[in-house]
Amino acid sequence: MTMNRNFLYFAIMAVLLVIVGQFQSWNLSLSILNLCLISAIMALGVNIQWGYAGLFNVGIMGFAALGGLAAVLISMPPVPAAWAAGGGGVLLSALAGAATIIGCIVAYAKLPKGRARSAIIVAIGVIGFFIMRGIFVPATDAIESVDAAKTGYLGGLGLPVILAWPIGGLLAGGVAWVIGKITLGLRSDYLAIATLGISEIIVAIMKNEDWMTRGVKNVNGLPRPVPFEIDLQQAEWFQNLSASLGQDVVIFSSIFVKLCYAGLFLAVLLAIFWLSERALKSPWGRMMRAIRDNEVSANAMGKDVTWRHLQVFVLGSMVVGIAGAMLTTLDGQLTPASYQPLRFTFLIWVMVIVGGSGNNMGAVLGGFVVWFFWVEAEPIGIWLMDTLTSGMAEDSGLRAHLLDSAAHMRLMTMGVILLLVLRFSPRGLLPEKTGHH
């Protein structure tokens, strides 16, 4: 039964993509598919946190952005002039910062409790901060002035971009560990608020630290894991291939590149999906669900609830980080200003809840369905508004306002969908399978 239902939903999804391919264009259909795959991975990550453990993460945007940052730091060629100008200073200030934090922790652990200890900790913190900034500011200024129009940042390591995917996961997992360590074990709302905060801050850092990410100047031209269209168009084997398929070389090259991406993304999705399913069906997964369904009794059975929550929070964030790195790879550029909570946090939540929280297949389906309608809602919405207002005069102010505002209808629609599913079908399209294994 569930097998059939899974198959039915994914078949409908495939038909929808084919319809877009036939009636709009195959290029569009494939780019929707690629983003569907990435969305599905993000939704899997969130499902690990929410579906397995009931953790509410409102900072998915931040973890996805960290993945994007990793893509730049790993794959872009280093800028030697910038390293010469300020690389040492940045490293030194990082060391100073680390030393300050360690100093504070040592003082906290070693000194006797009291006013004197607090004063010493504050003194170490303030002095360390000023030393760090004293080294940091001139160094970054020097870096940012190196050919500011083209580089003005340190660049990356010049390694293959695929490496950035796991590294992005590690980066996101590291930040998740710090946040989880502080807020897990307290009320569930605190995790939500803290993740909301950290994601805003991560994006603020990426927008403002030009020496690292070029800020709002964006990093363009990331290396690709797949061939460039222009190279394909000139390669003889490719010209022969497209000729034998009866396709236009230019259009087919872009479809071919998108297919390559789709293959890579599908491989990652399948790997993560397989691992998640294995984990869910293992004793570990049963324990996680036991904790989710009744924390008190799981605790009484000797399970360390806080530690398990931390574990699952870090794992889920890593998956989101991997997907974030993949997204930046697909875009070929890092645009910090494009990280919007609506697109990167709440949309993913809608995917998980619509798809069926607790069920990995549901999360994947949610990723596909919601992303598809997210993209196609805009033309539909504009068409709808246009039809609804066609009775009004051409120059009517109300009509112009309604047409302009059609874009905001997406926000409202997403909210309404979330509320309706949560209320009337809280188990989603593909409900979690419970019972005996």
Partner 1 sequence: MELLNALILMANFVLVPALAYGSQLALGALGVTLIYGILRFSNFAHGDTMAFGTMAVILFTWWFQSMGINLGPLPTALLALPFGIAICAGFVLATDKLVYKFYRQQRAAPVIYVIASVGVMFVLNGIVRFIIGPDDQAFADGERFIVRARSFKEWTGLEEGLTIKVSQGITVITAVLVVAALFWFLNRTRTGKSMRAFSDNEDLALLSGINPDKVVMVTWIIAAALATIAGTLYGLDKSFKPFTYFQLLLPIFAAAIVGGLGNPLGAIAGGYVIAFSEIMVTYAYKKFIGYMAPGDWSPDSLLQLLGTNYKFSVSFVILLLVLLLRPTGLFKGKSV
**Site residues (vs partner 1, CB under 8 A):** 54, 56, 58, 129, 133, 137, 182-183, 186-190, 192-194, 196-198, 200-201, 204-205, 207-208, 341-342, 346, 349, 353, 404-405, 408-416, 418-419, 422-423
Min dist. Cβ of residue 271 to partner 1 (A): 29
Helix/strand number for the chain, H first, E second: 20, 0
**Looking at this protein, which amino acid is placed at residue 336?**
P
Between 95 and 419, name the residue whose CB sits nearer to partner 1: 419
Cα angle for residues 55, 59, 64 (degrees, 5° grid): 115
Min dist. Cβ of residue 351 to partner 1 (A): 13
Between 268 and 288, name the residue whose CB sits nearer to partner 1: 288
Min dist. Cβ of residue 196 to partner 1 (A): 6
230, 239 contact by CB (below 8 A): no
What H or E segment, with its residue span, contains residue 420?
helix 409-424
298, 291 contact by CB (below 8 A): yes
Between 256 and 346, name the residue whose CB sits nearer to partner 1: 346
Min dist. Cβ of residue 73 to partner 1 (A): 21
Which token pair is 225? 């894991």
Min dist. Cβ of residue 121 to partner 1 (A): 11
Neighbouring CB atoms inside 10 A of 27's CB total 13
Min dist. Cβ of residue 8 to partner 1 (A): 27
Closest CA to 68 of 150, 164, 155: 164
Between 386 and 404, name the residue whose CB sits nearer to partner 1: 404
Between 183 and 329, name the residue whose CB sits nearer to partner 1: 183
Between 349 and 368, name the residue whose CB sits nearer to partner 1: 349
Between 240 and 425, name the residue whose CB sits nearer to partner 1: 425
Between 329 and 357, name the residue whose CB sits nearer to partner 1: 357
At residue 78, the 3 state secondary structure works out as: strand
Distances (CA, A) of 92 to 37, 77, 206, 271, 310: 41, 22, 21, 39, 32
Min dist. Cβ of residue 388 to partner 1 (A): 14
**Looking at this protein, which amino acid is placed at residue 142?**
A
Q: What are phi and psi of 394, to 5 degrees?
A: -55, -40
Min dist. Cβ of residue 128 to partner 1 (A): 13
Half-sphere exposure of residue 406, counting CA atoms within 13 Å on the CB side? 17
* Cα distance between residue 204 and residue 422, in whole Å: 32
273, 360 contact by CB (below 8 A): yes
